Amino acid sequence: MLFHTMVGSNDIERSKRFYDTVLGTLGAGEGTRNIADSGHTRLIYNNGSGTNFIVSQPINDEPASVANGSTVAFSCNSPEQVKQLHDTAVAAGGTSIEAPPGPRETASMGTIELAYFRDPDGNKLCGIHFPA
């Protein structure tokens, strides 16, 4: 259903270093630079199945800001990968938030593995794994 998810950045070079490192734990390659018609730089990360994650300088030239209530969740292959994604993000300049990485009991989905963190611009991100 989704084609892409985009977050804003106030420092595209810092974001490239962060996301190249963090998304590398999920097997994503380096972000591809794209210059929008407006002249603003975007970084495009493709997972190979047609869904893109994009980091962009805001095209209205206002500072990037986070959306209250928004989270971008990245699918992980295992509980270990959830923790690796989190720990890599923190080591690369992100901030751990909420509870430490680990299992969460949910009423509708059973036990899932989660880890929440913010990128250097404050965007809320999550690693998630649903056991088989």
pLDDT value, residue 109? 87
CA atoms in the 13 A half-sphere facing the CB of 60? 5
Percent of the chain with pLDDT over 70: 100
Q: Note the helical H segments in the chain.
A: 12-24, 79-91
Whether 101 and 113 have beta carbons less than 8 Å apart is answered as yes
Task: For residue 114, give the nearest of 126, 122, 105, 124 by alpha carbon.
Answer: 126
Q: Is the domain 4-59+70-129 a CATH 3.10.180.10 member?
A: yes
Mean pLDDT of 22-50: 92
Q: CA 113, CA 92: separation in Å to the nearest integer?
A: 21
Confidence of residue 3 (pLDDT cuts 50, 70, 90): confident
Whether 74 and 125 have beta carbons less than 8 Å apart is answered as yes
Mean pLDDT of 58-83: 94
- Domain segments of the chain as ranges: 4-59+70-129
Instruction: List pLDDT tens digits, range 52-69.
Output: 999 999 999 999 999 889
Report yes or no on whether pTM surpasses 0.85: yes
